[in-house]
Structure 1
Amino acid sequence: MKNTSPLLRWSITVFTCGILATALFYINQKQSNASVGQTPPEFPEMVEAIKVSSTLWSPKTKALGEVVALRTITLRNELEGSIISLNLPSGGQVSAGQTLVQLDVSEEQARLVNAKAALELAEIELRRNKKLYQQKIVSQDNYDKARIQVTIKQAEVQAVTSLINKKTIKAPFDAITGLHTLEVGQYLSANSEINTLVGIDEKIWVDFKLPQQYANINKHSDVLIQAPYSEQTIKGKIVAQNTLLNKAARSLTFRAQIENNKQLFKPGTVVSVLAPTSEPTEALKIPTSAIMRDQFTNYVYVLTPAKDNKNYRAKRQEIDLGDEHGENTVVLSGLAMNDLIVSIGAFKLRPDMLVTFTPQATLEQAAN
């Protein structure tokens, strides 16, 4: 009896452990069943909110436009001749009245000297005949012939001077020149294309086309111009429109004018034009940051008071959007004036989620 077998001792140990394990299991099971009927506490998510406000808005349509210089000209020589002087920088700036190309005028200059000498002789003869006519020495006929000779010689001088001017090609206005391959000594036939000049102006035009249903757009409406290689948008104003529709495309061409002080737009550049299609009306606006998007629709979270009257519940609300204006976007439908929506933090919400927000931030944003 004193020497208990090892098997008996192990049996007693295993039996005791089994009793303890069974007791612990029933205790845990009882606690778990007791907690099933309890709801875990719900903590509100912190966001920023703002009330829906109104703004003046007009529907707009997008079109492609082309930049057109106010002043542009293609220089051509009216008369043939060889280049004896060239002051035409490729892609450079020239001033109004600057001589760009001088053709050979040596023959015309000789003729001009001869014409001026003949004019001087005719004027001397006229003065002499006038004096004699006043003294009743020569007849009226001789005096008239001398006067007419002066007129003829003056015309000859003007004709030769005109030929010289036609062979002297000058810049008609301050401009930027195009590229060329002209050289001194080169012979130019009549009506040869010399260069294209684009005027240096603080303003520039943008021509664009709209469908015929927009033909009655206000002539002085504002438009927004944006180059494809830049995010900068420039405000312009419609200054003219074509009188006839394009028969093939049934569209009407409009012309807008914009500031171009920094020469951002080059003539011929294709730009995007945002033009109004009707007069401004009052519409709702919300911060762009409040808008959530999925593959089907645009939506925001509208806040409604919770049952505790301390927090709010988030309700997903689908909306139709208009144009963007800076940090705000126009809402066409889905919201009402003074609706409280989540402006920042909507990405972490889900429908019917408990929400709270900072009253101070909301009031400041609503005031703004």
Structure 2
Amino acid sequence: MNITKWLLVIIILAATIFGLHSYKSSLQESAKAQAASMPEPAATVTSVKVKNISYQKHMQVSGEVQAFKFLMLNNELAGEIIRLNAASGSVVNKGQVLLELDHRDEDARLMAAKATLMLENQTLARNIELHKNRTISEEQVDQARAAVQIAQADISVIKTAIDKKILTAPFTAKVGIHTLEIGQYLDKNSQVLELVGVNDFTWVDFNLPQLYQELALGSTIKISPMNQTAEYEAKIIAIDPQLSRISRHLKYRAQIPSATLALKPNTLISVIVPISKQKTLASVPDLAIKRDALGSYVFILEASDKGSYRAKQVPVELGERQGEQVMILSGVAAGQLIANKGAFKLYPGMKVYLASEIVTASSDVAAKTPVADVSAK
């Protein structure tokens, strides 16, 4: 009786297990059939071909425009202004009279000195005739000749004093703003006029830290006025022979034609200079790069069947960023097709279709100047 009950229980359990197994198998077959009837997951992205560009790391520093010539004109002698020919901000030519002080006293002394010279010349002439007749000694002739030379020296001293009261422009320049007026009295050694030379070139001085490579004389840099995006090329014309003892910076002077860029002295501008040798690097759009905790990647698109591609995840080492482009130090090579817009939704091995938009990487990068995000004074 007990054996019959146990056999019945075993038969019921076996039937239950067989039923469950059959049901699970039917579900799996149904799932496989359903999966076979559905298309493979795929994504549509834009593509870009990796291209190499010439790249040189630059840095931006502050520069200062220097005057071609600068002079603070002082008067050596005191006097009253009787002539003023230098309006504030005007351009004066070399040799032009700028300011004249009252020199009537010197004029009177000059007339007296000329009269004395004439008298001494007459005395010398008489003494020479008398000496020919042996009437006077040779010593008297020498004294008369010395008197003539002394009179000539007195005239030279007076003329020099007059010249010192007439100030002329030593070079073509612009006159600084001043408050001088005719009739104004100037004490000796007063600062009279400020002259800023006019030239066909603009000079820009800037400094670079000693840890960067020294620029060569004649090399090209770029300058950009503050609050402007335009860049202008300038050439280095001078290098300081020694580093600054305080900052350990090396000073350079660059030159740019005034017709290209005319700036006032002491203007602050941005100077963009190369700090490394030029090299060739691959460049891809920033949208093509996928970043996570393990690093940075791009998806190389490998051709598959029927116009589709397979996504292959490749780790890359990133370099400098230039606008929307990123330099790639390693991981990809020129000519490889990679996913661009939409790359974030890809995973390794995923089926990919290309959108109609095709973008060429770094098409404009070579024309731009890569600038490192550093600065120096």
Shift in alpha-carbon separation, 1:82–1:330, aligned structure 2, 3 A: farther
Shift in alpha-carbon separation, 1:263–1:356, aligned structure 2, 3 A: closer
1:52 maps to which residue? 51
Shift in alpha-carbon separation, 1:150–1:321, aligned structure 2, 3 A: farther
Say whether 1:38 aligns with 2:38: yes
Task: For 1:220, give the aligned amino acid.
Answer: G
How far is 1:340 from its partner?
3.9
How far is 1:51 from its partner?
4.5
Equivalent residue pairs, number: 325
Structure 2 residue ranges without an equivalent (≥5) = 1-32, 347-351, 367-377
Partner Cα separation in structure 1 for residue 69 and residue 288 of structure 2: 47
After superposition, the C-alpha distances for 1:307-356 in whole angstroms (9 at most, x for unaligned) are: 137455677876644486xx9978361465523467xx945654545326
2:139 maps to which residue? 141
Q: Say which of 204, 207, 210 aligns to 1:209.
A: 207
SS in 1 for 2:211: helix
SS in 2 for 1:190: coil
Partner Cα separation in structure 2 for residue 239 and residue 303 of structure 1: 48
Q: Say which of 281, 284, 305 aligns to 1:308.
A: 305
Partner Cα separation in structure 2 for residue 106 and residue 236 of structure 1: 52
Q: Say which of 237, 240, 245 aligns to 1:239.
A: 237
Which 10-residue stretch deviates more, 328-337 or 170-179? 328-337
2:70 maps to which residue? 72
Q: Say which of 336, 339, 345 aligns to 2:335.
A: 339
Shift in alpha-carbon separation, 1:215–1:333, aligned structure 2, 3 A: closer
Shift in alpha-carbon separation, 1:236–1:312, aligned structure 2, 3 A: farther
Q: Say which of 276, 283, 294 aligns to 2:280.
A: 283
SS in 1 for 2:99: strand
Shift in alpha-carbon separation, 1:36–1:238, aligned structure 2, 3 A: same
1:260 maps to which residue? 258
Task: For 1:37, give the aligned amino acid.
Answer: S
- Asked whether the 8 Å contact 2:81–2:184 carries over to 1, the reply is yes
Partner Cα separation in structure 2 for residue 341 and residue 239 of structure 1: 46
Q: Normalising by structure 2, what TM-score?
A: 0.70
Which 10-residue stretch deviates more, 255-264 or 204-213? 255-264
Partner Cα separation in structure 1 for residue 159 and residue 175 of structure 2: 27
- Asked whether the 8 Å contact 1:316–1:351 carries over to 2, the reply is no
Partner Cα separation in structure 2 for residue 300 and residue 124 of structure 1: 106
How far is 1:40 from its partner?
7.4
Partner Cα separation in structure 2 for residue 323 and residue 154 of structure 1: 78
How far is 1:168 from its partner?
1.0
Say whether 1:170 aligns with 2:168: yes
The RMSD of aligned alpha carbons is 4.0
Percentage of identical aligned residues: 31
Partner Cα separation in structure 2 for residue 59 and residue 135 of structure 1: 94
How far is 1:115 from its partner?
1.9
After superposition, the C-alpha distances for 1:70-118 in whole angstroms (9 at most, x for unaligned) are: 2011111111111111111111211111111111111111112222232
- Asked whether the 8 Å contact 1:59–1:323 carries over to 2, the reply is no
Task: For 2:301, give the aligned amino acid.
Answer: T
How far is 1:160 from its partner?
0.9
1:19 maps to which residue? none
How far is 1:41 from its partner?
9.0
Partner Cα separation in structure 2 for residue 159 and residue 240 of structure 1: 42
How far is 1:357 from its partner?
6.3
Q: Say which of 90, 93, 99 aligns to 2:91.
A: 93
Partner Cα separation in structure 1 for residue 224 and residue 90 of structure 2: 27
Task: For 1:109, give the aligned amino acid.
Answer: D
How far is 1:228 from its partner?
0.7
How far is 1:281 from its partner?
3.1
1:12 maps to which residue? none
After superposition, the C-alpha distances for 1:248-269 in whole angstroms (9 at most, x for unaligned) are: 3232322222222256311111
Partner Cα separation in structure 2 for residue 76 and residue 296 of structure 1: 67
Partner Cα separation in structure 1 for residue 316 and residue 145 of structure 2: 93
Task: For 2:303, give the aligned amino acid.
Answer: A
Partner Cα separation in structure 2 for residue 152 and residue 332 of structure 1: 86
Task: For 2:281, give the aligned amino acid.
Answer: L
SS in 2 for 1:247: coil
After superposition, the C-alpha distances for 1:101-142 in whole angstroms (9 at most, x for unaligned) are: 111111111112222232233334444545665676654333
After superposition, the C-alpha distances for 1:280-305 in whole angstroms (9 at most, x for unaligned) are: 33322648xx4449998998966533
After superposition, the C-alpha distances for 1:188-212 in whole angstroms (9 at most, x for unaligned) are: 1112112211111111222222222
Task: For 2:37, give the aligned amino acid.
Answer: G
Partner Cα separation in structure 1 for residue 317 and residue 152 of structure 2: 82
Shift in alpha-carbon separation, 1:296–1:115, aligned structure 2, 3 A: farther
After superposition, the C-alpha distances for 1:169-226 in whole angstroms (9 at most, x for unaligned) are: 1111111111111111111111211221111111122222222223743343322111
Shift in alpha-carbon separation, 1:302–1:54, aligned structure 2, 3 A: farther
Structure 1 residue ranges without an equivalent (≥5) = 1-32
2:187 maps to which residue? 189
Partner Cα separation in structure 2 for residue 147 and residue 225 of structure 1: 67
Partner Cα separation in structure 2 for residue 281 and residue 213 of structure 1: 18
